[in-house]
């Protein structure tokens, strides 16, 4: 019986480890969709967006490219709670789309916010399912630091 219990405990820890890894991978993928345009911004079209109107999910306004670029209309940026009408945001255009992504430290942190949430969720699994309290505390502290820094800079 003791070997069966050890095998079940090992299977449980493997399953919890897989759940934690799945959470982190999903958070990374969700963040990378926007973060890649901020982190790897070289060679992309940069400019500024003056926020004129915000809908439920996106904001729009006049876009002024930094370098000579074709005229663009209908560009949108994801709405955040800190965006006010008339704000001028430094942005980069996602290639092949009409979506803009905020650049700079605030934009980078905002892009990584889903990963911060994944770190916080994974810390619960690491603490409870894997019984690794120090690793869980470090994971939670990292996620919380990213989230707090994001809301501070926005």
Over residues 114-124, the pLDDT tens digits come to 999 999 999 99
Asked if residue 4 belongs to a domain, the reply is: no
Pair 85, 132 in one domain: no
Pair 97, 145 in one domain: no
* Torsion angle of the four alpha carbons 21, 27, 28, 33, in this order, in degrees rounded to the nearest 10: 150
Pair 145, 118 in one domain: yes
Tokens of 6: 């050890």
pLDDT number for residue 1: 64
Asked if residue 138 belongs to a domain, the reply is: yes
Asked if residue 9 belongs to a domain, the reply is: no
Tokens of 94: 């996602």
Full domain range(s) for residue 86: 42-102
- Mean pLDDT (the chain) is 90
Over residues 30-46, the pLDDT tens digits come to 999 989 999 888 888 99
* Positions of E strands within the chain: 46-50, 53-54, 58-60, 63-65, 76-78, 88-93, 99-102
Pair 140, 67 in one domain: no
Pair 109, 96 in one domain: no
The upper half-sphere exposure of residue 142, i.e. CA atoms within 13 Å in the direction of its Cβ, equals 16
Over residues 53-92, the pLDDT tens digits come to 888 889 999 998 988 877 788 899 988 777 788 889 899 9
Asked if residue 109 belongs to a domain, the reply is: yes
Q: How confident is the model at residue 125 (pLDDT cuts 50, 70, 90)?
A: very high
């Amino acid at each position: 019986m003791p070997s069966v219990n050890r095998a079940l405990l090992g299977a449980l820890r493997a399953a919890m480890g897989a759940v934690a890894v799945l959470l982190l991978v999903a958070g990374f993928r969700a963040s990378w969709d926007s973060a890649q345009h901020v982190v790897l911004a070289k060679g992309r079209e940069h400019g500024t967006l003056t926020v004129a109107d915000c809908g439920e999910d996106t904001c729009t306004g006049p876009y002024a490219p930094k370098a000579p670029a074709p005229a663009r209309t209908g560009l949108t940026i994801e709405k955040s709670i800190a965006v006010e009408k008339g704000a001028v945001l430094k942005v980069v255009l996602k290639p092949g789309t009409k979506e803009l992504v905020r650049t700079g430290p605030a934009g980078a942190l905002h892009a990584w916010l889903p990963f911060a949430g994944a770190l916080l969720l994974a810390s619960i699994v690491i603490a409870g399912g894997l019984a690794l309290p120090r690793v869980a505390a470090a994971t939670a502290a990292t996620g919380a630091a990213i989230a707090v820094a994001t809301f501070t800079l926005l």
